């Protein structure tokens, strides 16, 4: 093993010894540490039990333990036949095809899969219970009606490990209610370039703070390592992710490359992992990124030599969504390199059967030694044993702890905890004396985000990418409180009045205005930016409008990262970085009205300029790490420069890209005969039974970055912009099935162009680019639709409008 790697871990170990957090959660009595003899006895029993099971398993059953499909791609019959070791629900997956299914359906599916996995096998082969993994990254955020806690960036602003530990336990309770065993959380990335679309999943740019809070969340979810309640009732398996370097990619590009001296990279981005291991984390997820050009899913020096050999991790390593398929020489269905590098479970959402077959064949031909299979299976079963899935007291999901106690979802206690976390995370960046709001004030609340729980919750909320209220209406958040709700309640309690006016108009002049605005929800690569400019000017115009009328105005900014806000800061009398608070918007109001103090401190440096260069320290920062005013700190902020060259850049408009619709773009489907109603397709994904159209997520280069669209006979599907950005259409597409009838493209209400022959020629030939200009289309309308007289299936990864030179020919 390389000496440099030994040095790295020594450095990390010293840092972790200072900043690691092992305080016991307040609701649990501090346990006596087990004696050496007791620990050896437990380990001996565990090893003996697991070794006995592995020895009696067939090769096929062993391989199945290393396969993790998503619930949309297999049935209970498949589970009984193949006996997967685990499964997951993707960000857009739900039981029985319904991502908004009630909690009882999640528990029903958990029982169904558990029962299928434990059906007796012939010849005395053991039936190993399956475990279910989920991304509950800010509360049990896939479940309608669950508590949505602030995202990690907000929790970083609290700096409060005890608070984070309590949130971890509350989340574990709500997960257990629905019968799920395993959470893919916490993210312990040290985000160092805020252009990265996952910055809000990071607690801080400071690795010490990340290590402290990550360890606390693990203890909250699993319980205190060595205690009687460890991984018992109301606890779930935790996962530290993504090992390692995910927050350090060049230019903040998701899944990109991390470059530099390995010792320095480990001392920075690896620092949270010893703390997580000391806290007892049972699973670690491999990262999508590369380290110095080598993908982590195939990096033996780091997954095995460092993580296990030097850091001492003895749990399981799980891959990320088809991450093994990104290794050079691998495909999603053929990748022994990952297993040999140290991966124990392949997260293979859809192509599980072909991967199982290739792994079995590779053991047969000697490419994978049986000893490596047994090692990986042992690690998986060891975690199951510790989680109580293999002992004498193993139970169906519905018979465990608080399973089925649906009243615990968004319980009063959990909502109060979330409200506390929101209040403690608010960072006051400017205050000319308008805050706290005066008792009895007449308050006007403006901005479309003020009464939008979905926008306040960000990505990973009910859907992978989350959504605003036009995509995730208020009915999806039955127990939530919006920021407007909280302001109205708190202002009324002081004898004042509050009015919601999204566009800022009023009849009676207010004493003060509050403008709530911010980033639209996003997740992963869909949130990557080339700079830190906030281009949505709704909030800016409202702020400037109130300022012009000499009305004191407070800016409440919702975001997943610090951004260049000089214009908005200049236009406001007070500015609050509210992050992504989740379902308890009243916590924001608690600070605005002075019901709670302003105690939040920046866990990321705030930029003075807009270009987005990595900013991790005082140089170039408008507000440094740790900055945050109290409500009594009244110090006017000088006029800030509003110069930003990036604002002058005029580009084309993405109508669909990276798995999401562009701003102001909607997807629709309908019948050519006019029967029924034209249907909107939220997130460009769904089964439109009324029109005979199905659009589902498809992985081209990354998780669900594309859509596969199936048109039934006599149906149409398309996209429409609210505001016409003009320009030609550039569409990346792939024709999957040969059309059985004519296929046309229609722009607005104009005569369509026939593309049947083009589709017939393109079928089965992979990805192509369609360029549609005025050379073949008379009117390039803001509405484009694919019409089909027969059946056809095609895929789309991007739809873009852009200005092209005059005379540019159409292409297919």
Tokens of 330: 């691998």
Gap between the Cα atoms of 363 and 291, Å rounded: 28
Dihedral, CA of residue 798, residue 803, residue 804 and residue 808, to nearest 10: 90
Separation of alpha carbons 328 and 332, rounded Å: 11
Name which of 137, 155, 161 is nearest 24 in CA terms: 161
- Helix residue ranges per DSSP H, 130-255: 152-158, 161-177, 207-222
Q: How far apart are the first and last CA of the chain?
A: 53
Q: What is the residue-wise DSSP string for 110-130? A: HHHHHHHHTS--GGG---PPP
Taking Cα atoms as reference points, which of 436, 435, 429 lies closest to residue 626? 429
Q: Which of 118, 107, 35 is nearest to 84 (CA)?
A: 118
HSE of 774, CA atoms in CB hemisphere, 13 A: 9
- Picking from 226, 633, 177, the residue whose alpha carbon sits closest to that of residue 404 is 177
How far out from the chain centre does Cα 745 lie? Answer: 35
Contact status, residue 791 vs residue 713, Cβ threshold 8 Å: yes
Opening angle at CA 502, ends 644 and 722, nearest 5:
70
Is 189 buried (19+), middle (13-18) or exposed (0-12) by CB count in 10 A?
Answer: buried
In degrees rounded to 5, what are phi and psi of residue 548? -65, -25
Q: How many angstroms separate the CA atoms of 475 and 455, rounded?
A: 14
> Can you tell me the distance from the alpha carbon of 577 to that of 558, in angstroms, rounded to the nearest whole number?
7
For residue 172, give the 3-state DSSP assignment: helix
φ/ψ of residue 675, rounded to 5 = -70, 140
**Structure-token match 């610090």, residue found:** 562
- Using an 8 Å Cβ cutoff, are 111 and 132 in contact? no
Give CA–CA dist 774/809, Å, rounded: 8
Q: What angle do CA 487, 173, 187 make, to 5 degrees?
A: 80
- 179 in Cβ contact with 106 (< 8 Å): yes
The DSSP code sequence of 451-490 is T-HHHHH-SSBSBTT---TTTS-GGG-TT-B-HHHHHHHH
CB 446 within 8 A of CB 454: no
CB 516 within 8 A of CB 504: no
* DSSP H or E run through 580: none
In the structure encoding, which two tokens stand for residue 133, read together?
């993994």
DSSP structure string for 326-345: GSTT-BTTB-HHHHHHT--B
Residue-wise over 741-760: b if at least 16 C-beta within 10 A, else e?
A: ebbbbbbeeeebeebbebbe
Positions annotated as catalytic residues are 320, 524
CB distance 164 to 217 below 8 Å:
yes
Name the token pair of 25: 């959660």
Residue 402 DSSP symbol = T
């Amino acid at each position: 093993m390389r000496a440099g790697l030994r040095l790295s871990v020594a450095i990390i170990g010293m840092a972790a010894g200072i900043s690691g957090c092992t305080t016991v959660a307040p609701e649990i009595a501090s346990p006596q540490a087990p004696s050496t003899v007791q620990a050896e006895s437990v380990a001996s029993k565990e090893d003996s039990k697991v070794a006995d099971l592995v020895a009696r398993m067939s090769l096929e059953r062993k391989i199945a333990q290393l396969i993790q499909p998503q619930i949309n791609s297999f049935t209970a019959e498949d589970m009984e036949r193949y006996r997967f070791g685990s499964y997951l629900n993707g960000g857009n997956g739900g039981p029985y095809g319904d991502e908004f299914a009630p909690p009882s359906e999640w528990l029903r599916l958990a029982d169904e899969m558990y029962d299928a996995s434990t059906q007796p096998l012939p010849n005395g082969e053991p039936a190993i219970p399956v475990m279910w993994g989920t991304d509950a990254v800010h509360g049990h955020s896939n479940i309608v009606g669950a508590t949505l806690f602030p995202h990690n960036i907000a929790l970083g602003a609290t700096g409060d490990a005890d608070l984070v530990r309590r949130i971890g336990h509350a989340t574990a309770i709500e997960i257990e209610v629905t019968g799920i065993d395993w959470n893919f959380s916490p993210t312990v990335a040290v985000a160092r370039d805020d252009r990265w679309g996952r910055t809000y999943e990071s607690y801080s740019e400071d690795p010490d703070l990340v290590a402290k809070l990550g360890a606390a969340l693990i203890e909250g979810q699993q319980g205190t390592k060595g205690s009687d309640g460890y991984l018992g009732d109301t606890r779930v398996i935790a996962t530290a992710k993504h090992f390692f370097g995910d927050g350090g990619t060049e230019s903040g590009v998701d899944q990109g490359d991390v470059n530099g001296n390995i010792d320095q990279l480990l001392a920075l981005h690896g620092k949270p992992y010893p703390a997580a291991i000391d806290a007892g984390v049972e699973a670690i997820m491999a990262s999508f990124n590369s380290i110095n050009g080598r993908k982590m899913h195939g990096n033996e020096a780091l997954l095995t030599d460092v993580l296990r050999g030097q850091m001492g991790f003895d749990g399981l390593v799980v891959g990320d969504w088809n991450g093994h398929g990104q290794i050079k020489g691998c495909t999603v269905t053929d990748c022994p390199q990952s297993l040999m590098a140290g991966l124990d479970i392949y997260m293979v959402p859809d192509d599980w059967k072909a991967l199982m077959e290739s792994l079995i064949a590779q053991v047969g031909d000697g490419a994978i030694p049986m000893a490596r299979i047994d090692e990986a299976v042992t690690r998986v079963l060891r975690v199951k044993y510790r989680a109580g899935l293999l002992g004498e007291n193993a139970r169906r999901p519905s018979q465990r702890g608080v399973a089925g106690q649906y009243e615990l979802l968004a319980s009063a206690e959990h909502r109060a905890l979330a409200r506390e976390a929101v209040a403690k995370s608010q960072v006051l960046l400017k205050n000319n004396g308008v805050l706290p709001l005066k008792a009895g004030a007449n308050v006007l609340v403006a901005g479309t985000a003020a009464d939008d729980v979905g926008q306040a919750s960000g990505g990973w909320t009910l859907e992978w990418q989350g959504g605003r209220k036009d995509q995730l209406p208020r009915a999806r958040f039955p127990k939530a409180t919006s920021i407007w709700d909280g302001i109205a309640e708190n202002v009324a309690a002081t004898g004042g009045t509050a009015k919601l006016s999204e566009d800022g108009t009023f009849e009676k002049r207010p004493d003060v205005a509050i403008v709530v605005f911010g980033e639209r929800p996003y997740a992963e690569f869909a949130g990557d930016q080339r700079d830190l400019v906030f281009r949505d000017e709704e909030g800016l115009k409202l702020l400037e409008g109130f300022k012009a009328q000499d009305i004191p105005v407070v800016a409440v900014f919702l975001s997943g990262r610090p951004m260049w806000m000089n214009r908005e800061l200049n236009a406001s009398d007070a500015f609050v970085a509210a992050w992504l608070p989740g379902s308890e918007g009243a916590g924001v109001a608690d600070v605005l009205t002075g019901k709670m103090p302003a105690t939040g401190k920046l866990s990321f440096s705030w930029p003075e300029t807009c270009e987005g260069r990595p900013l991790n320290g005082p140089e170039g920062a408008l507000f440094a790490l740790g900055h945050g005013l109290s409500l009594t700190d009244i110090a006017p902020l000088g006029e800030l420069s509003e110069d930003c060259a990036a604002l002058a850049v005029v580009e084309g408009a993405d109508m669909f890209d990276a798995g999401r619709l562009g701003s102001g773009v909607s997807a629709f489907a309908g019948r050519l005969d006019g029967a029924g109603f034209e249907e909107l397709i939220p997130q460009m994904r769904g089964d439109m039974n009324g029109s005979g159209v199905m659009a589902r997520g498809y992985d081209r280069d990354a998780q669900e970055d594309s859509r596969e669209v199936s048109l039934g006979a006599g149906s149409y599907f398309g996209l429409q912009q609210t505001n016409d950005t003009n320009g030609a259409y550039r569409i990346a597409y792939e024709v999957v099935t040969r059309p059985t009838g004519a296929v046309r493209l229609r722009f607005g209400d104009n005569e369509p162009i026939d593309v049947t022959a083009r589709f017939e020629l393109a079928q089965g030939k992979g990805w192509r680019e369609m360029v549609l200009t005025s050379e073949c289309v008379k009117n390039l309308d803001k509405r484009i639709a694919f019409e089909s007289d027969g059946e056809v299936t095609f895929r789309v990864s991007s739809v873009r409008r852009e200005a092209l030179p005059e005379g540019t020919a159409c292409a297919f």
